[in-house]
Structure 1
Amino acid sequence: MRSLMFNVVTSALLLVQNAVAGPQAPAATGASKGVPRTWNGTNYECKCYVGDSCWPNLQKWNTLNATVGGNLRISTPPAAPCYNSYQSPWGNISTYDAAQCASITANFASEQFQIDLPTAGLWTYFTNDTCRPTTNPTDTCTPGYYPVVVIMAKKTSHIQAGIRFASQNNLRLIIRNTGHDFLGRSVGWGALVINTHSFQDVAFTNSWKGAGTYKGSAVTVGAGVQAINVLKMAHALDPPKVMVTGECATVGVAGGLVQGGGHGPLTTLKGFLADTALEFEVITADGVPRKANAKTNSDLFWALRGGGPASFAVIVSATYKTFDDVVSTGTLLNINTTHTTNATLFWQAVTTFHSYSNHFVDNGLYVYYELGTTGQNLHVQPFVGIGKTPAQLQAVLKPLFDDLDAMGIKYDTSTKSFKTFFDLYIDMFEGEAAGNSALTGGWTASRTDVAKNNAGIISAYQNVLNNGAFIVGHMWNAGAGVPAAEWNNSAVNPRFRDASDKVITIVPIGGNAPLADKAAAQQKLTYVVDGGLRAAAPNGAAYINEADPFQPNWQEAFWGTNYPRLLTLRQKWDPNGVFYAVSTPGTEKWEQIEYGTRLCKKV
């Protein structure tokens, strides 16, 4: 990213802005009153943005910059160096740099490249796609829905200062680690970002001595640590260890992942990442550092374990259980048009595959698959048997392959064994790409739904593909490896304890598409694509990190019977709405009005 030093450029820009905005009010000691706006006949109080009279003056920004050790930056879209100028909120900034543009263009699809930028979102729909890489530098680069200022936090005190500054000046605040988010929570029009990615400390212990009854091995990770890095370090231990992480190697493990629950390849055996959390070091909305565990701030500890990202506190570090790594086996399966062009036979095979969801999770498997990404295509990579030899995994899969053989369909399959799950993780899970634009939804089918209505679920899958979307599936059960007495120790939706298959639905659409097209795509996702899934699996649930935030009754879908308690805790820990993520506890009156720009509260 073309990230401009605050003390080089910002002063002049803010002087120009403040001359336009007019006189500034004195610094507030608490949360400021919102900026009044009316939109579509409804009155709101909004966060403060560039051009509003409440926007902080130059003195305040300079004071903040000094407080955070000079780590305040102007935020620009990642591809700004491909353009002659960036039309910033304060005026045009010359940004063209041929070498930087070439690097950005070559790496735009790289997740790690995007993660290491100050304010990028890995998937671009919610940025408005107004400044993508281009070969024509005379094209227009505007802010879109990107943030405008970022604190590249290096110390806990920097996070504290950012939270207090946002609260006192009523700014929209975004907490970003990796930008690994489908729902646009890592970006936001005109916002201040606190980037926590520099918090990279990792510490292992063989015997946890903190709160609670657990005394086994554990790891404490900083807010910026990604799955692949901590797994590599754990693998290097003697004996090798492993922890619950997401399927994607680049996801951060101490922020939105655990606050959303955190599912991954070990979920059937060990539960969600939230189920393995032992303690958090956090900063709450009042800017105060706190510890949260089973004894200290236990209500906050409960809420942070699956109660919603960016809702209760900023996590500075998290401590999780670790487990001995063991021999593991993986199997691949592909059925596509090279095997059959008979659509009826293909869907018969898909129906058979999915009918074994309960069988797979009951036998401790995790299954990752894609459906319809390239037309008539079922791609399973992989079936994961942690702690299983090839013979043991093949015994679990034999009924499926016997049925496929009986129906006469061809397929490709292969099996590999590994000394540890980590070796399997590195070898068999495929990398993912950044820079794509789409709307994301999804739903979870329970074991009950699969047992009673597998054919109906597959009809709903066909409906997804027939409407131009595709599916990414994850078969796991978050209750199998966690004692029932512990299910309520975290805030995740109790319905996940009877889960069998969680799918992500993806509706491709450009972030810069016409507003009418965006509205139509959202309507299709909510009521046609995902609506069919909800109808076919009525005992299911939605996973907050990978679902449609605009679905009806999202409170029940995301948290079920836990929602009333979460709402109460949100009002306790963040009564003034310092933190915000779409469709999380306590955000019912909040809305991004004026075509997805200003964040405002209905009055």
Structure 2
Amino acid sequence: MLIFCLCLLQMPRDVVSITTRQHSQDCRCLPDDNCWPTLHDWNTFNRSVNGRLIRIRPVGAVCHGREYNAALCAIAQNSTHDSLWRIEKPGALQSVTWETRPYRNRSCFIDTPRAIPCDQGRIPVYGVLAQTAQDIQEAVRFASFHNLHVAIRNTGHDGIGRSSGVGSFQINVNLLKEIQFMQEFVPQGGDKSEGSAVTIGAGVLGLEALAAGREHGVNMVTGTCSTVAASGGFLQGGGLGFLGPAYGIASDNALEFHVVTAKGDLVIANEYQNKDLFWALRGGGGGTFGVVVNTTIRTFPDVPAIHFLLTADLPRHPTRTSDADQAIWDITTELTNLLPVLKHKDNKTSAIIVPRFLEDRAVLEAHVLFVNTSDKDPVEKHLNMLHSALEAKGLSPAYKSELTRYPNLSAWLNIPRQMTGAAYGLIEGSVLISEDLFFSHNGTSHIMDVLSNLEYIVGDSVEILMSVGGQVKANKYTVDSALLPSWREAGLLLTIRRTLPTTSLTQIMVNSQMPMVRALQVPPLGSYYNVADIELPDSRRAFWGENYARLYSIKQVWDPDGLFIVRMAVGSEDWDDEGICRV
């Protein structure tokens, strides 16, 4: 294999400047420090990973300054909102918020004038495109020896900057595409089968896992967005998906992990060995306890299903935007009010309702999924209640709907869907709503009264997810994991997302709606770590509740020097916000 010379990879000393940090072993080595690896060090490391070391530049670099390339810039501008294109680019994330350092005005946007300098921002300086566990081991040992700021990146779906870092070294796992199905899986060290399962590499996307599963006649719990990886941070953070009520949250279905630890060892974690690590990886948060190489998860038979789709797309009149918005909220409210009835009828039912507010229109997309059923009649009976209520309000012309029977659930699961846009600024937050509130008299009406009266700006969206209850609740008695215990008592997850154009990132960075949404649930039930509000108070209790003390202890065992530190994660309170210096 050709090993290339890194003499062209030397970064200028002013790539990163953290002038207030300490220069000691309590801080990571950054490119402007004397402790930063030499070119000889990088070249030696490159040989150890078979030439898979890369220098990383922001994807917008080809549109600026001396790096300008008209053809490549055109490709970047035409592809920037393509989630799959961004996954393939080590210098890109799905949300540009964490590619940049907006408070320091350090960015490299694709669509800004060519003359504006391109700054590295939070994009890692170097990275390794890992293709084997050995690549990851070498990268971890190199980062540990040189005291580097590590950023583990998979698909770049993250709302609080856990996939990037100032002056960091990227361990990119997106090329780990192993998929192996087993009819009877016995965890290593065990003596009994866990049934049918699949081992998936860390880089396998949800859409890739589901497509492979369809060929084998099985399904698995993946994310609502099909370009999110099925393993990695999604699953380690809990993993909410359409099949949660039928089969449990994603972390409930993890049977075994192959993990590279902070010491560079490759270990197996399951119910029989390294049980503390296994417990932590199921819900304790991604990028914190090690680098997951692959995960073995349960699979389920490809059963029939019924799917209800409702959409609305209403123009917003320049002087009467409230007309379209009100119609969207009225439809959303009627559909949300129906959810408790549908849940009582069949606790496997899941739903996601997403109103969005764009500059020229207000839109609504809603899915209700009924798993392991072919009988449309009971569903139609309840949906007729919805249609009657909307007709009484004069809203029938404002929306379209369809009810579809699928002989195989996989046919619907394999329809690609991207629930959030790529290449925009993103701030978000989430709140768990208890079953007590969800099922209470006028409970959903109260929820909708609060949501519909919040102040929204162009680009805002709301997600009402009924992807809990059912088996998620039942697993309270059979699954022991780090997952926030109150997930077992939840009826809904409410998510607020603010999508901003790149030019607005420095203007609005706080999601002001979240305090009012959190006030819905008293006492608080908690929040979803994978959809985190950076302003969330007492965040570790909100993410992990009573499990946090145990998680922190496990962190000290497996990563005592804090090599894997990401924002708002277990152990991150011992470091500054960037994960560079101990506090």
Q: Smaller-chain TM-score range?
A: 0.7 to 0.9
Distance in 2 of aligned mates of 1:487 and 1:465: 42
- Larger mean Cα displacement after TM superposition, 75-84 or 267-276: 75-84
Q: Counterpart of 2:538 in structure 1: which amino acid?
A: N
Indicate the residue corresponding to 2:79 in structure 1.
Answer: 107
Q: Counterpart of 1:443 in structure 2: which amino acid?
A: V
Deviations 1:235-283 (A, max 9, x none): 112xx11011011111111200111011111001111111111100101
Indicate the residue corresponding to 1:546 in structure 2.
Answer: 531
Indicate the residue corresponding to 1:27 in structure 2.
Answer: none
Q: Is 1:232 aligned to 2:204, yes or no?
A: no
Indicate the residue corresponding to 2:517 in structure 1.
Answer: 533
CA contact (8 A) 2:60 2:108 kept: yes
CA contact (8 A) 2:11 2:31 kept: no
Deviations 1:463-495 (A, max 9, x none): 444466321232121553563454552211111
> What pairs with 1:336-347 in structure 2 (closer than 5 Å)?
337=314, 341=323, 347=329
2:291 to 300, 306, 314: 314
Distance in 2 of aligned mates of 1:15 and 1:365: 53
Indicate the residue corresponding to 1:55 in structure 2.
Answer: 36
Change (3 A) 1:355 1:447: farther
> What pairs with 1:66-105 in structure 2 (closer than 5 Å)?
66-85=47-66, 95-105=67-77
Indicate the residue corresponding to 2:372 in structure 1.
Answer: 387
Deviations 1:300-353 (A, max 9, x none): 101101111111111101001101111112112235657993876764543333
Indicate the residue corresponding to 2:340 in structure 1.
Answer: 358
Indicate the residue corresponding to 1:584 in structure 2.
Answer: 569
Change (3 A) 1:38 1:342: closer
Indicate the residue corresponding to 1:416 in structure 2.
Answer: 404
Distance in 2 of aligned mates of 1:561 and 1:244: 26
TM-score of the superposition, structure 1-length normalised?
A: 0.85
CA contact (8 A) 1:479 1:498 kept: no
Q: Counterpart of 1:166 in structure 2: which amino acid?
A: A
> What pairs with 1:403-442 in structure 2 (closer than 5 Å)?
403-410=389-396, 411-427=399-415, 429=417, 432-442=420-430
Q: For residue 401 of structure 1, report the CA deviation from its aligned partner.
A: 3.5
Change (3 A) 1:245 1:488: same
Indicate the residue corresponding to 2:94 in structure 1.
Answer: 122
Q: For residue 120 of structure 1, report the CA deviation from its aligned partner.
A: 1.5
Aligned-residue sequence identity (percent) comes to 29
Change (3 A) 1:83 1:562: same
- Larger mean Cα displacement after TM superposition, 552-561 or 486-495: 486-495
Distance in 2 of aligned mates of 1:125 and 1:343: 27
SS in 1 for 2:532: coil
Indicate the residue corresponding to 1:472 in structure 2.
Answer: 463
Q: Paired residues, what number?
A: 558
Distance in 2 of aligned mates of 1:511 and 1:189: 19
Distance in 1 of aligned mates of 2:200 and 2:472: 23
Distance in 2 of aligned mates of 1:530 and 1:17: 40
Q: Counterpart of 1:458 in structure 2: which amino acid?
A: M
- Larger mean Cα displacement after TM superposition, 123-132 or 335-344: 335-344
Change (3 A) 1:266 1:511: same
Change (3 A) 1:400 1:269: same
Deviations 1:62-87 (A, max 9, x none): 221111111111110112122232xx
Distance in 1 of aligned mates of 2:275 and 2:172: 27
> What pairs with 1:83-232 in structure 2 (closer than 5 Å)?
83-85=64-66, 95-128=67-100, 130-134=107-111, 136-210=113-187, 211=190, 214-232=193-211
SS in 2 for 1:370: strand
Distance in 2 of aligned mates of 1:173 and 1:491: 24
CA contact (8 A) 1:270 1:482 kept: no
Indicate the residue corresponding to 1:91 in structure 2.
Answer: none
Change (3 A) 1:285 1:417: same
Distance in 2 of aligned mates of 1:173 and 1:107: 28
Change (3 A) 1:135 1:512: closer
Deviations 1:497-549 (A, max 9, x none): 1222213212234556575x34xx32xx1xx3111111012343211111213
CA contact (8 A) 1:75 1:118 kept: yes
Q: Is 1:493 aligned to 2:484, yes or no?
A: yes
Q: Counterpart of 2:342 in structure 1: which amino acid?
A: F
Distance in 2 of aligned mates of 1:591 and 1:412: 49
- Larger mean Cα displacement after TM superposition, 401-410 or 576-585: 401-410
Q: Is 1:282 aligned to 2:266, yes or no?
A: no
Distance in 1 of aligned mates of 2:192 and 2:493: 31
Distance in 2 of aligned mates of 1:13 and 1:427: 41
Q: For residue 139 of structure 1, report the CA deviation from its aligned partner.
A: 3.1
SS in 2 for 1:251: coil
Q: Counterpart of 2:429 in structure 1: which amino acid?
A: G
Distance in 2 of aligned mates of 1:465 and 1:106: 32
Change (3 A) 1:174 1:346: closer
* TM-align CA RMSD: 3.0
SS in 2 for 1:357: helix
Indicate the residue corresponding to 1:302 in structure 2.
Answer: 279
TM-score of the superposition, structure 2-length normalised?
A: 0.88
Distance in 2 of aligned mates of 1:243 and 1:162: 31
Distance in 2 of aligned mates of 1:550 and 1:373: 23
> What pairs with 1:504-583 in structure 2 (closer than 5 Å)?
504-510=495-501, 513=504, 517-518=507-508, 521-522=509-510, 525=511, 528-538=512-522, 539-583=524-568
Structure 1 unmatched runs, 5+:
22-34, 86-94
Distance in 2 of aligned mates of 1:131 and 1:408: 48
SS in 2 for 1:588: helix
Deviations 1:28-58 (A, max 9, x none): xxxxxxx99459xxx9942210111211222
SS in 2 for 1:372: strand
Q: Is 1:265 aligned to 2:242, yes or no?
A: yes
Indicate the residue corresponding to 1:11 in structure 2.
Answer: 7
2:229 to 252, 269, 282: 252
Deviations 1:351-391 (A, max 9, x none): 33323333333422111221233488562432111222332
Q: For residue 431 of structure 1, report the CA deviation from its aligned partner.
A: 6.3
Change (3 A) 1:176 1:131: same
SS in 1 for 2:59: coil
Distance in 1 of aligned mates of 2:293 and 2:50: 18
SS in 2 for 1:550: coil
Q: For residue 196 of structure 1, report the CA deviation from its aligned partner.
A: 1.0
Change (3 A) 1:343 1:57: closer
SS in 1 for 2:180: strand
Distance in 2 of aligned mates of 1:226 and 1:150: 21
Change (3 A) 1:192 1:342: closer
Q: For residue 455 of structure 1, report the CA deviation from its aligned partner.
A: 3.6
